[in-house]
Structure 1
């Protein structure tokens, strides 16, 4: 579904990723982990098209999308939820969703995925909790009907019960078989429970990879020297 092949990328003269290759299969979920500064967010921004590659390529559904702008990649089925629970604070929850579509059936569908938002439709997004804003950010992206969903640190700064809900959402979406997920996450347990395979980045290079699941937690922590 999504593949980065031998990607080298960075900012100005500073290289952040060095010959990185990862693959997210159709209907699969993959986690990318590593310490701060390892290059995780840069990798996602390369996949989305926000950071250009120096060498290597980005493929979506087997097609080379390296030269395409982010908007063109979105049209091809890529959805991106950046770090930071982003929303339009002065607008209500419903208005945030209606920025994507006014189709009530589509909005009802994402509200079924995040039922906690139903009682918050008239509340301004700036007054929501961090966990509620994160659910809103994911719900808004799901309204674009992505086939490849990219999530950057979705559990950062949110309460444990919402972490559990988001984990269930990721599992439920990938279980349908029509959505793939690439997840950057510091929370090792969450990442491995929610995904089928993982990569560990260190100083912009892949240093470890394997199958996900709770049994992989010790191996990942060892690879990250936690």
Structure 2
């Protein structure tokens, strides 16, 4: 579905990614793990087009999208949920969802399906997003992305800073998306156990380089934890 080939990218004169190559499987999940500052978020920003690689290629279904603008990548079926439970704080939960659903032929149906995945939001439709808890805002951010019916979902630390009860719900939703097919996911996570349960493949980033790659699953956890302590 998505392939990075020898990507070098960064900010200004600072290079963060140094020749990163990895693949996201079709209808599957690839987890990217690593410590803070390893380049995980930079990788997602390069994928969606918010930063331009200095060199290398990004391919979506075999098409070179390296130079495409973010909106062109979204039109090709990509959706990005950045770190930090982002929303429009002065709009209600419903208005946040309608911003994405309006103008789509299947907007009402897609919004209803997204709310089915996060039933807690149905009781918060008239509450301003700025008054929601961090976990509720993260559910809202995920629901907004799912309304677009993406073929490829980019998730940056979806469980970071969220109360444990909501983390479990978000984990189950992502695991459900991963298992039902029809969507690929590039998951950046620090919770190793959850990431490996969801992923078919994993990649460990260290200082902007891939230092370990393998198949997902619980049996890979010790290998990944060892790679993260090196």
- TM-score normalised to structure 2 length: 0.96
Partner Cα separation in structure 1 for residue 109 and residue 37 of structure 2: 41
Matches within 5 A, 1:187-206: 187-206=191-210
Q: Which of 132, 138, 142 is equivalent to 2:142?
A: 138
Partner Cα separation in structure 1 for residue 194 and residue 163 of structure 2: 13
Partner Cα separation in structure 1 for residue 111 and residue 53 of structure 2: 36
Secondary structure of the 2:30 match is strand
Partner Cα separation in structure 2 for residue 58 and residue 22 of structure 1: 10
Alignment correspondent of 1:164: 168
Partner Cα separation in structure 2 for residue 166 and residue 22 of structure 1: 25
Alignment correspondent of 1:207: 211
Alignment correspondent of 1:114: 118
State whether residues 110 and 149 of structure 2, in contact with CA within 8 Å, keep that contact through their aligned partners in structure 1.
Answer: no
Partner Cα separation in structure 1 for residue 122 and residue 182 of structure 2: 25
Deviation string, structure 1 residues 25-56 (Cα, Å, up to 9, x no partner): 11000110111111111011110111111111
Secondary structure of the 1:56 match is strand
Structure 1 stretches lacking a partner, 5+ long: none
Deviation string, structure 1 residues 42-89 (Cα, Å, up to 9, x no partner): 011110111111111000111000110000000000000000000011
Root mean square deviation, CA, Å: 1.1
- TM-score normalised to structure 1 length: 0.97
Partner Cα separation in structure 1 for residue 169 and residue 56 of structure 2: 36
Alignment correspondent of 2:101: 101
Deviation string, structure 1 residues 171-213 (Cα, Å, up to 9, x no partner): 2112221100001111111211121211000011000011111
Structure 2 stretches lacking a partner, 5+ long: none
2:187 paired with 1:149:
no
Segments of 4+ moved more than 6 angstroms: none
Alignment correspondent of 1:72: 72
Aligned length: 226
Partner Cα separation in structure 2 for residue 179 and residue 126 of structure 1: 30
Alignment correspondent of 2:189: 185
